[in-house]
Amino acid sequence: MPFRWTFRFVVPMAAVACLFLSGEAYAKCRMKGPDISIAGIALTDRESAVKVVGESAKLEDSEDDLPHARFVSTNGAQELVLFAHYGAIEDEYAEAEVRIAGPEALALKDLPIESFKTGRGVELGMSVAQVQALFGTCFKSRQKTGQELFFEYEIENADRDPELKTFGFPVYYAEYEFKRGKLVRFRFGFAYP
């Protein structure tokens, strides 16, 4: 009888405990302090966006991405792309990307900002170690090809995350692209549901 009792009650309870503990360990591996602003623009905050880029920025449509507004830094070296989710309030951006500006960026509206920096201090030219020191190494994915490195963070259930729940989006992500050890592009925000 004790042997049967062990298999009926103790073994299932141990299995449940193991699942709970493994889920808890997984939950602890999370991106540290996600970025929620760029160049003074807080994600999904219309007021801060209007202060920096002005009202009614022209949105470009794209077949493979969300509607977006593009801007260039004062020195023409960096491009800021702000993405608006479908159905969002005008001038409300839920995702942002910064990349090295190409020649076509010279025709874009320039902002009185030389370097587009996030609230956590991320900007183009940073090293891999500097970015990892800010956010940790709990990557969703990491790929290295020759001199190029790309990694991505993701926070699922962001609408229940203590730092992100006020935004009300289910998934937060951040991706970083490096060439020869230097940051050349990054994008972060709330994934379109």
**pLDDT tens digit string along 65-91?**
999 999 999 999 999 999 999 999 999
Total residues belonging to the chain: 193
The answer on pLDDT for 40 being more than 50 is yes
Residue 17 and residue 41 share a domain: no
Residue 126 and residue 145 share a domain: yes
Span 93-113, mean pLDDT?
A: 95
Span 2-9, mean pLDDT?
A: 50
Total domain count, the chain: 2
Residue 19 and residue 45 share a domain: no
| pLDDT grade for 12, boundaries at 50, 70 and 90 | very low
Residue 173 and residue 148 share a domain: yes
Pairing of strands 109-110, 68-72: parallel
Residue 170 and residue 154 share a domain: yes
Residue 73 and residue 86 share a domain: yes
Residue 98 and residue 23 share a domain: no
The answer on pLDDT for 141 being more than 70 is yes
pLDDT at 4: 53
Say how many C-beta atoms besides its own lie within 10 A of residue 123's C-beta: 17
pLDDT at 25: 41
At residue 25, φ and ψ (nearest 5 deg) are -65, -40
Residue 184 and residue 121 share a domain: yes
pLDDT at 193: 85
DSSP 16-79: HHHHHHHHHHHHHS--SS---EETTEETT-HHHHHHHH-SSPPPBP-SSS--EEEEE-TTSSEE
Residue 132 and residue 100 share a domain: yes
Residue 104 and residue 11 share a domain: no
Structural domain range at position 59: 31-190
